[in-house]
Amino acid sequence: MDLVALEYSYSRIIHDYYVKNWKDEMGSSKLTIVKRAVLSYHGNTSVQKNVDPVFKIPDDEKEYDDAAKHWSHQVDKFFSPYETVKLPYSFGDYLVMSLDEEYRKQCLVEIDRKRRTIVGEVAAEQGDILQSLQNTIKETSEAIQHLVALAPGGLGDDSDQDLLRGRQELLEAIAAMQNGLAQLNHELSRRNIEFID
C-alpha cells in the first residue's frame, strides 16, 4: 500500500509503522518501543524530565515498565481520531528512531517521500514567488536553528535523532530554495533570457 499516494500525513505514516512493528510477532512490543522513545526524548531534553505532563519519568528505574503503560496509552490517544492529546514537539522523531531497524528504515523512506510530494506539489510555472519566498524563509530558519543547536562541540556529541532531524531540516530548506530557483528559471526562460547555472 502506497501511504504517500493515499495522502497520509506524517503522523499517520509514523502510526502505521509503529503499529506494524509492535504487531509483528518478531518485533518489539508497544511498551518497549514507547519506553525507548520516551527515555531517548528525555535523554536529549533533560530539562523536560520533571515538567513534561505527558511523559513524566519516575525517580526509580524499577517503575519504568509501569510508566511505559501510561506513556503507551498517551501515544495511542495521540493517534486516535477521537482524542485531542498533544505530544511534545518532535516526539514523532523519537518514536520513529525507536522502531526496530526494519520498520524504522521503511518509515524514514515514506516520510522522505511525503516531504518530497509536499515540496514538489507546485510546478514552477504555476508557483507563487511570494509563497515560495515565505516557505524558503521558514525552512531555512528552521534549518539554521537546528544546526545552531548541533554546533557546540561539533557533531560527534549529538544523538542520532538530532543528526537525522538536522539532515531533514536541511533537505527541506534546500528543496524550498530549489522551488524558488525553478520559478525564477521558468520566468527567465519565458522571456527568452539566457542564463548560466
Which of 126, 103, 112, 132 is closest to 16 using CA atoms?
A: 103
For 81, the grid coordinates are 481520531
pLDDT reported for residue 51: 55
Q: What is the pLDDT of residue 129?
A: 81
Q: For residue range 121-162, what is the model confidence (pLDDT) as tens digits? A: 556 667 778 878 888 888 888 888 888 888 888 888 888 778
Task: Encode pLDDT of 63-115 as tens digits.
Answer: 999 999 999 999 999 888 888 777 877 788 899 999 999 999 999 888 888 77
Q: What pLDDT is recorded for position 168? A: 83
Residue 121's identity, in one-letter code, is: E
Query: pLDDT tens for residues 6-36?
Result: 566 888 889 999 999 999 999 999 999 999 9
Interior CA angle at 64 toward 59 and 69, to 5°? Answer: 130
pLDDT value for 64: 92
Least confident of 71-75, 118-122, 164-168: 118-122
- Is residue 36 within a helix (H) or strand (E), and if so which, with residue range? helix 30-44
DSSP class per residue in 76-141:
HHHH-TT----PPTTHHHHHHHTS-HHHHHHHHHHHHHHHHHHHTSS-GGG--HHHHHHHHHHHHH
Residue where the block lists cell 504555476: 126
Q: What is the pLDDT of residue 158?
A: 82
d(CA 123, CA 120): 7
48: confidence class by pLDDT, cuts 50, 70, 90: low
